[in-house]
Amino acid sequence: MAYQFKKELEKPERFVGGHRLCAGCGAGITCRAVMRALEPEDKAVVTNATGCLEVSTFMYPYTSWTESYVHTAFENAAATCSGVEACYEALKRRGKVQDNFKFITFGGDGGTYDIGFQSLSGAMERGHDMVYVCYDNEAYMNTGIQRSSSTPRFANATTAPVGREKQGKQQDKKDLTAIMVAHGIPYAAQTTFIGNFRDLHEKAKKAIYTHGPCFLNVLSPCPRGWQYETALLPTITQLAVDTCLWPMYEVEEGVWHLTYEPKKKKPIEDYMRLQGRFKHCFKPGNEWMLESAQQYVDEKWEQLLEKCR
């Protein structure tokens, strides 16, 4: 069935309001959109790594989740989800469970790219029927905006500050989606929320209803860490895509497919200029930073196009 935005909005919410995420945060939008991709007749078990999302949406006895929810430590969200999935499969074989359940993990980049990478890799390798969703806000936002391996080069973070010796983080962002593809999983994709959410919805639905381990990486900006005005959230995600910094693609059974290509590729400085974490890049004498950032994006974009041909 073709995607119908209004029809999808008629579904009962599985991630409801009343949470305490910051205004202009992308994490809540990510969760609401992913959970909406579930079919009405199906239930879900959500495991959530410690982070902004967990502390803001599950404050006992209050919760924003209508589905079964498990808060886990930073490092074991994927392991917990895989264990619950294995238990469900065993009970279903014995006829003790009749309902259809889907298993979804949410984790930020700290709990996914870094601390939780080992359990994520293990769950993907073992082949559990589950979806891991990373809401990628590119730093450890919950504990003070420390850099992670997802933080882009030159970004200002509390553990990679701008000063006399160094100008923000010195390393490029880890390409985690490609690493997940290398695990040989049936489905992996990158997306974010632009336009009418069609790309995010379709990829989330495909991940949830593809049998086996699937991975979804969703760019989810943070107004505090990225230092932008709340109202700029949709503009920033659109620029991330239109500059090709955050390309939207999917990999099904090893086949790469580009799902969005901008009509006119915009310069990376358009994206960086709206964020305070990059303001030092625009100071006289730092033009090389913008040139280096553009070169990196161009090279990665060409590599992706080659894979998708």
Only one residue has tokens 């040139």, namely 291
The whole-model pTM stands at 0.97
* DSSP-derived secondary structure for 82-119: HHHHHHHHHHHHTTS--S-EEEEEEEEHIIIIITTHHH
Instruction: Map residue 214 onto helix, strand or coil.
Output: strand
Rounded to whole angstroms, the maximal C-alpha distance in the chain is 69
Per-residue burial over 218-242, b = 16 or more CB atoms within 10 Å of its CB, e = otherwise: bbbbbbbbbbbeeebbbebbbbbbb
Dihedral-angle region of residue 138 (phi above 0 means left; psi in -120 to 50 means alpha; beta otherwise): left
Encode pLDDT of 44-81 as tens digits: 999 999 999 999 999 989 999 999 999 999 999 999 99
Q: What pLDDT sits at residue 144?
A: 96
What gap in Å lies between CA 146 and CA 148, rounded to an integer?
Answer: 7
Only one residue has tokens 């119908």, namely 4
Q: What pLDDT sits at residue 217?
A: 98
Q: Please identify every stretch of the chain with a pLDDT value under 50, giving residue numbers as ranges.
A: none
Q: Which residues pair with 146 in a beta bridge?
A: 140
Segments forming the whole domain that contains residue 103: 5-308
Pairing mode of beta strands 187-191, 131-136: unpaired
Is residue 78 within 8 A of residue 72, CB to CB? The reply is no
Q: What pLDDT sits at residue 1?
A: 66
Q: What pLDDT sits at residue 227?
A: 98
What gap in Å lies between CA 173 and CA 113, rounded to an integer?
Answer: 10
Phi then psi dihedrals of residue 49, to 5 deg:
-65, 150
What gap in Å lies between CA 169 and CA 189, rounded to an integer?
Answer: 26
- Give me the number of domains the chain comprises: 1
Alpha carbon 156 to its chain centroid, in Å, reads 20
Q: What is the CATH number of the domain that holds 155?
A: 3.40.50.970
